Amino acid sequence: MSTDNVTPPEDHDESWKEKNDRWPFTTKDDGWIKAHDALRADLSDLRAVIQAMQQLAKNNRLTKRQIKSVLVYWARFQHSLTHHHDTEDHIVIPWMCTRVLVPDTVASEHKELLDAMEAVDTKIKAVDMTESSIAALYEKFQILERVVLDHFQEEEASVLKLLRLHFTFAEFIPVEKQILKHLGPADLGWILRAMKNDEERRYWMTNVAKIPRLVQSLLMLPFCRRHLRKYIRPLQDIVKEAEGVAN
Ligand SMILES: [Fe+2]
Ligand SMILES: [Fe+2]
């Protein structure tokens, strides 16, 4: 393995542009970034709902049912984030390390991220109807959010670029198959969550992920709808109620 290839390329680097263009889809459409987009949307939902809980608690309107909905969402988020990093740690990064030095900040940041997630987990499970319990949660959540967002930015600016610079898409296909083997239908539905609408979802599934239309219709889209219904809508209802209380 060469040791001089740890530095990620600059955007204007001609050799990088040429190698990147050989991949059949842009970095923006890459499944790696789509997973980050879904997690970024999850974080944005969590931030909004914690703020809404604060508003409701202040007005003695927060209910046990609402807290339960947030806990259900949180458990799903924990699963998605843990699964995403397990895939990187156990499949993608070891494979990349056969040819390129991957910055070891990836592994150390995963550890930092896990600690931040555990701190939120403790506080979210301790939330009662009081404003102080929600304030304690919000403090830990803000740390988690910062750590995750910075980590994703770093990964997209370095590791994803190193992957596209040193490997071809054809070489990546067996790795992608391994990743898919560990994903259940609910995970596949989740990855579509941050896309604007079904038209955008269809476009990505057809042109990038090359998923047959029947599988899109019978599996992917129904699981995405289930995700929206089971996890996201209850949170949106809490945020809407808090807005009503504030006005
Ligand atoms: Fe990561
Ligand atoms: Fe990642």
Q: Which ligand is nearest to the CA of 32?
A: 2
Ligand 1 centre from 225 Cα, in Å? 27
Please give the pLDDT value at position 245.
87
pLDDT at 5: 56
Mean of all residue pLDDT scores within the chain: 93
Question: How many separate domains does the chain show?
Answer: 1
Amino acid at 241: E
| Type and span of the H or E element at 140 | helix 131-157
Between the CA of 193 and the centroid of ligand 1 the distance, in Å, is 19
d(CA 38, CA 224): 12
3-state secondary structure at position 61: coil
- Ligand 2 centroid to Cα of residue 36, in Å, is 6
Q: Is 16 among the domain residues? A: no
Give residue 22's pLDDT: 93
Q: Which domain holds residue 143?
A: 26-240
**180 phi/psi in degrees, rounded to 5:** -65, -30
What are the pLDDT digits (tens) for 163-194? Answer: 999 999 999 999 999 999 999 989 999 999 99
CA–CA distance, 16 with 29 (Å, rounded to integer): 17
Q: What is the spatial distance between Cα 58 and Cα 60, in angstroms, rounded to a whole number?
A: 6
- Ligand found nearest the CA of 38: 2
Asked, for residue 13, whether it belongs to a domain, the answer is no
pLDDT of residue 221: 97
Helices and strands (H, E) in the chain, number of each type: 13, 0
Answer yes or no: is 14 within a domain: no
* Residue 148 CA, ligand 2 centroid: distance in Å: 9
- Ligand (nearest to CA of 113): 1
Q: How far apart are CA 224 and CA 210, in angstroms?
A: 17
**pLDDT on residue 40:** 98
Q: Is residue 93 part of a domain?
A: yes
Indicate whether 135 pLDDT > 70: yes
66 domain residue, yes or no: yes
In a domain, 2, yes or no: no
The sign of the torsion formed by the CA atoms of 163, 103, 28, 148 equals: positive
Report how far ligand 1's centroid is from the alpha carbon of 89 (Å).
8
pLDDT digits (tens, 9 = 90+) for 181-235: 999 989 999 999 999 999 999 999 999 999 999 999 999 999 999 999 999 999 9
Across 18-22, 72-76, 160-164, which has the greatest mean pLDDT? 72-76
pLDDT band (50, 70, 90) for residue 4: very low
**Residue 207 CA, ligand 2 centroid: distance in Å:** 22
Task: Identify the CA nearest to 164 among candidates 2, 34, 22, 4.
Answer: 22
Give a yes or no: residue 9 inside a domain. no
- What is the C-alpha to C-alpha distance for residues 238 and 236, in angstroms, rounded to an integer? 5
Question: Is 245 inside a domain boundary?
Answer: no
Closest to 52 measured CA to CA, from 116, 138, 120, 144: 138
The pLDDT value given to residue 8: 72
Closest ligand to Cα 160: 2
- Decide: 6 and 184 in contact? Cβ < 8 Å: no
